[in-house]
Chains A and B, each alone.
Chain A
Amino acid sequence: MFAKSQALPAYDPKTGAGGTSDFLTTRLETMVAWARSNSLWPLPFATACCGIEFMSVVSSHYDLSRFGAEVVRFSPRQADLLIVAGTVTDKQAPILRKIYDQMSEPKWVISMGVCASSGGFYRAYHVTQGIDEIIPVDVYVPGCPPTPEELMHGIFELQRKIRSGEMSRDSRSAKLAAGKPA
């Protein structure tokens, strides 16, 4: 597998052509982050209208699988990205918290749409005014509902965060609570 089958032309720094592709140097964290960012397994916590747009994002037209985040899983044990799509009510809030707690580390949260981000225009007696009342959020996607492009942008933003080595909000706060520098 690693044996050199044929000699490659030498690397030319001026044109960037040639060279051997047999090895590359990187740091382990970078490698892991690169792999993680391109294999997100989303759990759609789809409660309302945004869930319909999420369906558009994974469907044929927008096809999220082009960006390595299409393996939708409905079990929190098998997912590392929680996409909260839609309004969360006070009746739903404990369920959302439980699902979040059931996901294993590392895990990230995208809040899709203004209802999940802030309660939206439902400033009312039964609506949670943003899911960050109960769980930490990594990326907020505005819109009511966000267009598929906006949600995809949110996912790219999360991928960028993961690749840059940023920890998810949750592990950062856990470290802070334990007295370690975050």
Chain B
Amino acid sequence: MSAVETAPLSAAAEKIRGRLASTPFAEKLEVVDLDLPTLEVSPSEWPALAKWLRDDPECRYDLFLDLAGVDNLKRRGRKTRFEAVVHLLSLPRNDHIRVKVLLPDDAGPSLPTVCGVWPAANWFEREAYDLFGFDFPGHPNLRRLLCHDAFVGHPLRKDYAPGQRWFATEEDLKMPAWALETQEKAGHFETQTLSIGPSHPATHGIVHLVARLDGERISRAETQIGYLHRCFEKMSETHTWNQIIPFTDRLNYVSAMINGVGYVRTVEKMLGVEVPERGVLVRTILSEFSRIMDHCVDIGANLVDIGALTNFWYLYQPRENIYSLIEACCGARLTVSYVRVGGLSFDVPDDFVPRCRALLESIPKFLDDVDRLVTNNRIVRNRLQGTGAVSKEDAIAWGLTGPMLRACGVPYDVRRTRPYDFYDKFDWDIPVASDGDNFARYLVRMEEMRQSLSIIRQALDIFPEKGPVNSSDWHVVLPPKDAVYHDMESLIYHFKLIMEGIKVPAGERYEWIEGANGELGFYAISTGGGGPYRLKVRPPCFPNMAAFEKIILGGTISDAIATLGTLNVIAGELDR
């Protein structure tokens, strides 16, 4: 047991311990106080505990956030080699909790599925099966999710070499078993199976939809992903903490800045480093601009899919203008790599504030144009209104967050429920719609862009003209280049940071922020080395995509295409 785990329990952990005392599994699990209250449980107790956590009136953990496998092969002090780490969110209580299912070493790693408790667990469990080889008895469709079907072994295990590849041929890319059967319908024509993607203009990169059609209605569907699985989590285990930042940019490459901020915040919390106000505000301003860009691409691409090409050009111009600002700050347009643990890579240019103000002037004009072209356009309304509708209950059960959830009437926004940086100082609204359909998502996104502009305006008002953007802790941040050349001590710090990486204290942390398409979480485990022992990202669009095959059931193919656009699925983040 490390020192962290024997520390006195926080109020939250004490509360859950008290609540657990009256349950049958009180004896069989342990409550540990880490950054979040953490329950350690054996696989046999897990389904009962899961149900209790969801249904108990003082717990109500109704949203399944994430399941991360952990292989403790090279990590000391753990009870078993494999752990399944689950993060849960209670929307009514606005509370996070972590459950660790410790998988005994004797048999192969196995734990019962909780798809029946939280349907959102389905894909997360398939992912753990694929990457760690965990068995989930009772799972409805336990197949590989990310790696191709000719893959051998489980790549995120610590004894798997990062570069070991397996080649696939066309025959190895399997369709779901049900798609290969022909199905006759009595007194009717036979149904047909349609394969859309992976290379298809409407699948936005690389998603493969297999749909069974009864006439034009979809009677069964399955989405296959993993065509862009570029091994982010394995790569992060072979790099130092700062070297991972470029990888995080390529998760959600449409709003790269937000990913970087989410990641470095996790590391900064583990280190206990504070970033100066100016640095934080630069991050906030550029994150909100990124959110606008993300929504522009999402709305623009969605409208292209339903045949409204013009808006794409209208929405791409503000993007180009924002790119110019970001390029002036860090030299890159798309994949910015601008943040560093403890601050930023450079200070902003001198004309940063006027440039931002100019953008604040120009962007609303484009938004108004699109608004006038689209919002009351009869064709757009016919295509989007009432299609792809999700009920509030389903959205929570499927683990949706972000604009998807807000379009169903749930005002969950991390910037408000757990304000980070300076979000509690700004005056802004959470746009919420009630219908939960494609049009509601469009409206929520349009309004969110306006709210982001308002946040940026307020951030600029309190933006300090001068001051550092980086923490001055040279154990974390590189000393100024000039000092490195003239000062022995700075040179040593520089050398140690570059060669060995930041030394993050052993421990673990789950940090979450509001990404452009939902709750973006990073779960990092450090063993005190220069890089993470394990880094798991909770990609917001992963549950969105998992829900897609359920949302489109009963609709037509054309509605499915209109729906796919509003999910805001970014392949880099989906497949990682």
Contact = CB atoms under 8 A, between A and B. Distances in A.
A125 interface: yes
A46 interface: yes
A94 B229 contact: no
B166 A92 contact: no
Interface size class of A (residues with CB under 8 A): 35 or more
Contacts, number: 130
A124 B198 contact: no
Contacts of B571: 47-48
Nearest to B233: A124
A50 to B, nearest CB: 9
Interface string A60-94: 11000000000000100000000000110111111
Contact of B155 (A45, A126, A147): A126
Contacts of A74: 199-201
Nearest to B150: A90
A41 B333 CA distance: 26
A125 B205 contact: no
A174 interface: no
Interface of A: 45-49, 51-53, 55-56, 59-61, 74, 86-87, 89-99, 115, 121-127, 144-145, 147
A49 B337 CA distance: 14
13 contacts: A46-B205, A49-B250, A56-B320, A59-B316, A60-B313, A91-B173, A92-B198, A94-B170, A95-B198, A96-B199, A121-B246, A126-B155, A144-B335
A105 B457 CA distance: 54
A43 to B, nearest CB: 9
B147 A126 contact: yes
Contacts of A53: 333-334
Given A53-B334, A87-B230, A125-B234, A48 B162 contact: no
B227 interface: yes
B31 interface: no
The 8 closest A-B pairs by CB, nearest first: A124-B231, A49-B253, A91-B148, A74-B201, A59-B316, A94-B170, A61-B320, A60-B313
Contacts of B206: 47, 92
Contacts of B201: 74
Nearest to A144: B335
A96 B312 CA distance: 27
B446 to A, nearest CB: 20
Contact of A47 (B173, B228, B235): B228
Given A87-B230, A90-B168, 13 more contacts: A47-B571, A52-B334, A59-B320, A89-B230, A90-B148, A91-B227, A95-B173, A95-B198, A124-B235, A125-B234, A126-B146, A126-B155, A126-B229
Interface in B180-219: 198-201, 205-206
A92 to B, nearest CB: 5
Nearest to B316: A59
B165 interface: yes
B253 A48 contact: yes
A91 B145 CA distance: 11
Nearest to B315: A59
B69 interface: no
A140 to B, nearest CB: 19
Contacts of B333: 53, 147
B147 A123 contact: no
B254 interface: yes
A48 B228 contact: yes
A94 B231 contact: no
B165 A49 contact: no
A123 B235 CA distance: 8
A93 B313 CA distance: 32
A122 B76 CA distance: 29
